A and B are shown apart, each in its own frame.
Chain A
Amino acid sequence: MTEFYGYERPDGQIGIRNHLLVIAPIDCSYEPAKKIAEQVDGAVAITQTYGCGNDSMLVHNLAGTALNPNVAGVLIVGLGCETLTGEILMEKIKPSGKPVYNITIQEEGGTLKTHEKGVRILQEMKQETAQLKKEPFPLSKLTLAVECGGSDATSGLAANPAVGVAADKLIEEGGTVMFGETQEMCGTQHVLARRAVNKETADAIYEIIETQEARQRAMGVDSRWMSKGNIDGGLTTIEEKSLGAVRKGGTKPIQGVLYNNWERFDTPTKPGLYLMDGPGWDVPSVTHMVAAGAQIVCFTSGRGSTTGHAIAPVIKITGNPRTFKNMGDNMDINAGTILDGSESLNSVGKRIYDMIIKTANGRQTKAEALGYNDYIVFKRSREAEHLLGHC
């Protein structure tokens, strides 16, 4: 049985990184929050960019990131007059047993006083959390998120199926995998629903994908057929196009749909494969899956991509040998060996699986080595959802 090394948190979850998270609940305090985080090794600042409202989707995502076990301790740095207060986040984060502190710039008396207090709090947390030791845990404690972005013709052929092989293997070993981007599932609801473990999940799969199709129709996008470029590239039907995208999630039964809206922000309840009803853009999609508990991410890109994540390692995989050569600074794994027949799909899948375990154990990804802390919360428009009858 494979094991991985991680840090046990007070709530029993296992982190593979030991970050301190600085949350600016409103973008007004993001600059000071970033300066505070820069002072302490392993600290990283995040915010949201939807203005001053206490929107539950934003609360779910910010608090979800803090609850991710890759985070050892939390400092909230607010401006002081925001609607989404530090107290609202504290209430969600405290039950985890993690250290969490809340300060505001208006109350502390300006940036420099806040900076001094914030850095002291982080330093003290760092001194304590730095002594935590990694211990071995079963893969039932590891959750992988899979994502694709900057796709090309090699994605559905090499990188996505190879990540799917790794995802299947992780689940066979007791782990959890989630994949999202509902808009890329359009046309495959009948196939995905067939893999659902029960009727409730099958119904949920139909609901989220057909809702997404309605959103796209409302925007004037015809999700039912493809572009000439897709067809020129060899894609014959919409089923084929979407199946190439969802193949990165592997072939295992789907345990449930993770809703990500104003009322619900679901996290996996037991090991296996999950489908997240999430945004279709790379960074928000990864942000939401990490907020739902994924400690590690596999990201496929045919054309090449640079993005990492504030608190989770992101392993970059390309099926395009030229991209691996051109963007070697950013891509971790070359799945392009499948294309020239020099390596089998299953062999590349095994290499990706091994990289997942090594990365969990502490190996840095290219995005980590470059210090990339991508983090963007996505929020749907309540007005638009209301007009569509989905809210």
Chain B
Amino acid sequence: MSKKAIQVDAKDNVATTTSIVEAGETVEVLSPNGEVILKTKPVEKIIFGHKIALKNLKKDDAIIKYGEIIGIASKTIKTGEWVHTKNVNSARMHTPGEEVKGITS
């Protein structure tokens, strides 16, 4: 069975993985209706519960999950890329300058 990622709301530009995805593995992104809306091969490992970009995003683009803005891209993000603290800041409050250490993707 191929690896899956879930788009929670049809407006979302990120989806959440439902298992560990190894670099180069194909991920099927499922819409809220269960349709496959994207197949992509991440260039890096993405662990369960983390996010994957559904489209190319520019710096300062809004990151949308649950149909709402969850943050702002702090750098360019490509389709299929891991989306997390390394490339997203809170839109609402100051994000500490230091990247959080100790997360392995």
Interface residues of A, Cβ cutoff 8 Å to B = 153, 156-158, 161, 165, 187-188, 190-191, 224-225, 228, 231-234, 236-240, 243-244, 247, 251, 338-341, 343-347
A224 to B93, CA, bound (A): 8
Q: Judge if B57 is at the interface, Cβ distance under 8 Å.
A: no
**What is the size, in residues, of chain B's interface with A at 8 Å between Cβ atoms?**
41
> Looking at the complex, which one of A251, A340, A344 makes contact with B18 (CB distance below 8 Å)?
A340
A142 to B66, CA, bound (A): 26
Question: Contacts A243-B65, A243-B68, A345-B32: A238 and B92 contacting too (C-beta < 8 A)?
Answer: yes
> Looking at the complex, which one of A157, A158, A239, A346 makes contact with B70 (CB distance below 8 Å)?
A239
Q: Verify A240–B100 contact, CB threshold 8 A.
A: no
Q: Verify A343–B68 contact, CB threshold 8 A.
A: no
Q: Say how far B90's CB is from chain A's closest CB, in angstroms.
A: 4
Q: Verify A338–B66 contact, CB threshold 8 A.
A: no
Q: Verify B66–A247 contact, CB threshold 8 A.
A: yes
Q: Verify A339–B103 contact, CB threshold 8 A.
A: no
A346 to B31, CA, bound (A): 10
CB pairs A–B below 8 angstroms (29 shown): A153-B48, A157-B16, A157-B18, A158-B6, A191-B69, A231-B84, A231-B100, A234-B48, A234-B51, A236-B63, A237-B89, A237-B92, A237-B95, A239-B68, A239-B70, A240-B66, A240-B71, A243-B68, A243-B70, A247-B8, A339-B19, A341-B1, A341-B4, A341-B18, A341-B28, A344-B30, A344-B32, A345-B6, A345-B32
Q: Say how far A186's CB is from chain B's closest CB, in angstroms.
A: 10
Interface residues of B, Cβ cutoff 8 Å to A = 1, 4, 6, 8-9, 16, 18-19, 28, 30-34, 47-51, 63, 65-71, 83-85, 88-93, 95-96, 100, 102-103
> Looking at the complex, which one of B4, B32, B71 makes contact with A346 (CB distance below 8 Å)?
B32
> Looking at the complex, which one of A161, A232, A234 makes contact with B66 (CB distance below 8 Å)?
A161
> Looking at the complex, which one of A228, A234, A243 makes contact with B102 (CB distance below 8 Å)?
A228
Q: Verify B66–A243 contact, CB threshold 8 A.
A: yes
Q: Which residues of A contact B31 (CB under 8 A)?
A: 344
Q: Quick one: which of B4, B9, B16, B71 has the most chain A CB within 10 A?
A: B16
Q: Verify A228–B93 contact, CB threshold 8 A.
A: no
Q: Verify B30–A157 contact, CB threshold 8 A.
A: no
Q: Quick one: which of A234, A236, A343 has the most chain B CB within 10 A?
A: A236
Q: Which residues of A contact B96 (CB under 8 A)?
A: 225
A340 to B5, CA, bound (A): 9
Q: Verify A236–B83 contact, CB threshold 8 A.
A: yes
Q: Which residues of B contact A158 (CB under 8 A)?
A: 6
Q: Verify B100–A228 contact, CB threshold 8 A.
A: yes
Q: Verify A190–B34 contact, CB threshold 8 A.
A: no
Return the chain B residue nearest A345 by Cβ. Answer: B32
A225 to B92, CA, bound (A): 11
Q: Say how far B66's CB is from chain A's closest CB, in angstroms.
A: 4
A247 to B65, CA, bound (A): 11
Question: Contacts A191-B68, A237-B90, A239-B68: A340 and B1 contacting too (C-beta < 8 A)?
Answer: yes
Q: Verify A190–B92 contact, CB threshold 8 A.
A: yes
A363 to B70, CA, bound (A): 39
Q: Which residues of B contact A187 (CB under 8 A)?
A: 90, 92-93
Return the chain B residue nearest A154 by Cβ. Answer: B49
> Looking at the complex, which one of A161, A233, A347 makes contact with B8 (CB distance below 8 Å)?
A161
Return the chain A residue nearest B87 by Cβ. Answer: A236
Q: Verify B32–A238 contact, CB threshold 8 A.
A: no
A237 to B89, CA, bound (A): 7
A238 to B103, CA, bound (A): 17
Q: Verify A344–B93 contact, CB threshold 8 A.
A: no
Q: Verify A345–B8 contact, CB threshold 8 A.
A: yes
Return the chain A residue nearest B66 by Cβ. Answer: A243
Return the chain B residue nearest A239 by Cβ. Answer: B70
A156 to B30, CA, bound (A): 16
Q: Quick one: which of A231, A234, A343, A347 has the most chain B CB within 10 A?
A: A234
A161 to B31, CA, bound (A): 13
Q: Say how far A122's CB is from chain B's closest CB, in angstroms.
A: 47
A243 to B8, CA, bound (A): 11
Return the chain A residue nearest B2 by Cβ. Answer: A341
Q: Which residues of B contact A236 (CB under 8 A)?
A: 51, 63, 70-71, 83-85, 88
A85 to B86, CA, bound (A): 59
A341 to B4, CA, bound (A): 7
A190-B92, A240-B70, A344-B32 known, 9 other contacts, Cβ within 8 Å: A153-B48, A156-B66, A165-B32, A234-B84, A236-B51, A236-B83, A239-B68, A247-B66, A347-B34
